[in-house]
Amino acid sequence: MSAMEYQGPERRRGGPDRRLPGDKTTILLVDDHALFRVGMRNILEREDDFVIVAEADDSRSATDLAIETSPDIILMDLSLPSPGGIETTQRIKRELPSTGIIVLAVSEDEDALFDAIKAGAAAFILKDVGPDDLVTIIRRVSSGEYLINDKVFAKPAVASRVLKEFRELAVYGQEAAPIFAPLSPREVEILDNIAQGMTNKQVAYALSISEQTVKNHMSSILRKLSVNDRTQAVVYAMRQGWIRMPED
């Protein structure tokens, strides 16, 4: 493994993105092929707002360097040697929930996509992605977008599996839930209740939480789904099969 010494503002470990306009987007490259890492570095270092803070070629070094540098973005090789890119993603997200992880794969495998969603990846892209597209994806993920949503919604079989797991996790409560993108089990539960016509106050009563907590969750839902209001969120989620249709 190798790492560049990064002299910059102290990086965050969790919490919202507090970077100021003009701050650099810090990036960790994770791939066991040195040539591929060199190619990514050459592409990304052309951008004035990107800084490559470290490179890793296995799971252990990736996790250690992620915790050490707390990057904004991690480009993660799906086919990393055992324990692999998915498990490495999951480990890092437990430590650094605010870091956006972009999984790079050689093919569109539905099982791998599903596992990447469960692990908390923000995007799932193919390794033959064009340089300009890669730069755009990094900037969008850095701004808080979950581009993996588009992949899920385009594959009904994957969306169905995600919905099933959301519901199972909601039964056992958030304590047992792994990190999941784009919505937490509690957020799905709240959106499901709202789809049945409940007000925030009614949802709060039904779930034994405060009305302010419901409002906080709704703000998170709107941000994650990139919609403007609760009606759009419900319609969007129903169209994708994430929540059930309102009962008569």
Exposed/middle/buried for residue 190 (C-beta within 10 Å: 0-12, 13-18, 19+): buried
Q: Which two tokens stand for residue 18?
A: 């507090």
- Rounded to whole angstroms, the Cα distance separating 70 from 11 reads 6
pLDDT value, residue 234: 81
Query: Which pair of structure tokens corresponds to residue 237?
Result: 């989620």
Average pLDDT over residues 22-43: 93
Joined together, the tokens standing for residue 134 give: 């890669």
Residues 6+ apart with CB under 8 A from 176: 169
Tokens standing for 162?
A: 């995600």
Sign of CA dihedral 227, 243, 188, 145: negative
Residue ranges, comma separated, of all CATH 1.10.10.10 domains in the chain are 156-239
Q: For the segment 207-219, what is each residue's pLDDT rounded down to a tens digit?
A: 999 998 898 888 8
CB 220 within 8 A of CB 227: no
| Integer Rg of the chain from CA | 19
To which CATH superfamily is domain 2-146 assigned?
Response regulator (3.40.50.2300)
Q: According to CATH, where is 3.40.50.2300 located in the chain? A: 2-146
pLDDT, averaged across the chain = 79
Class (C level, CATH) for 156-239: mainly alpha
Give the rounded percent of residues in the chain with a pLDDT score beyond 70. 76
pLDDT digits (tens, 9 = 90+) for 150-169: 776 667 777 677 666 655 55
Question: How buried is residue 98: exposed, middle or buried, by Cβ count under 10 Å (0-12/13-18/19+)?
Answer: middle
The residue among 181, 178, 195, 164 whose CA lies nearest residue 223 is 181
pLDDT of residue 167: 56
